[in-house]
Structure 1
Amino acid sequence: MIIQKQYKFYAAHRNEELEDKCRNLHGHRYGITCFFEVERTGSLSTLFGDFDRKIEPFLKSEYDHGMMVNIKDTLYETLMNHVLRTGEKLKLKRFSQPTTVENLAHQLFTEITDMGFRLSCLEVRETDTSVVSYTREDWVTDSRYFANSKTADTESLSE
């Protein structure tokens, strides 16, 4: 059985690899729709509040009104220097790859799975007209890809 829940948060990011308007720092009101795989154990399978108790506070503390930033982006070093120089606290959600909506979907799928939930699909809405539908198969494939990328990065650093 599939239970569907929707959440939202506001966050800033930029796509430093692009040469268009999205290279600039900007923000979105992200909407996520989780499709949870659950099994009936009696008259009900899962209370909706079981999802909300973990996911809503997590999104609020990690993402909402923060900035998603790739730690390899030159802007990250600038932001960290600012923090060290001024002592100002910035809410930064660190990514090890560009903060595209596809990579956000992978990150969120991983984090929600790590909470003990089984997702069949996760939809991430970046704008009213732009949605990524990210499946468990996508997550498995991307997890292998990112694991291989980390191995390649580590090997090139040791050479």
Structure 2
Amino acid sequence: MFFLSREFTFDAAHRLESYKGKCEDLHGHTYRVRVTVFGDVDEEGMVIDFVELKKIVNEKVLSLLDHKYLNQIIPQPTAENIARWIWDRLQPVLRTEKRRLYEVTVWETADSFVTYRGE
């Protein structure tokens, strides 16, 4: 069994409406996302081609979140809710007989992050 990961970044604004503190005001982040897939290698010797993974993440996630106001896409866009939203978009596309999505990690800042592994 292999674990394969690729990292991505996107810039977006949000505000945490159900939060009392600084983050209830409009602000932005450069988010970092790690997508990890696990499984067996295919006939080409790969779990998934890094190029294919990049294409999927760009199409299903980054094209929708980059330079956007996240509150219009994800209710209460905490790092936890963003990770779950990304999982829900990627899990059906990445699942095959030989592989599946293992986890999604979202960094809101350089030292604050959350990891989600599905329900």
Question: Under TM normalisation by the shorter chain, which class is it?
Answer: 0.7 to 0.9
Match of 1:153 in 2: none
Query: Are residue 121 (structure 1) and residue 103 (structure 2) matched?
Result: yes
Query: Are residue 103 (structure 1) and residue 84 (structure 2) matched?
Result: no
* Deviation of 1:25 (Å): 0.5
1:23-64 Cα shifts (integer Å, max 9, x gaps): 001101000011101311235122111101221243342000
Question: Runs of 5+ in structure 1 lacking a partner?
Answer: 70-91, 141-159
Q: Percent identity?
A: 26
Match of 2:21 in 1: 20
State how 1:14-93 maps to structure 2 within 5 Å: 14-45=15-46, 46-69=48-71, 92=72
Question: Runs of 5+ in structure 2 lacking a partner?
Answer: none
| Equivalent position amino acid for 2:17 in 1 | E
Check conservation: 2:32, 2:108, Cα contact below 8 A: yes
CA distance in 1, matches of 2:62, 2:79: 18
Q: How many residues align?
A: 113
Structure whose residues are more often strand by fraction: 2
| Equivalent position amino acid for 2:86 in 1 | L
Structure whose residues are more often helix by fraction: 1
Highest relative contact order (Cα 8 Å, sep 6+), 1 or 2? Answer: 2
| Equivalent position amino acid for 1:125 in 2 | W
| Equivalent position amino acid for 1:11 in 2 | A
CA distance in 1, matches of 2:70, 2:92: 20
| Equivalent position amino acid for 2:40 in 1 | E
The structure with more radius of gyration: 1
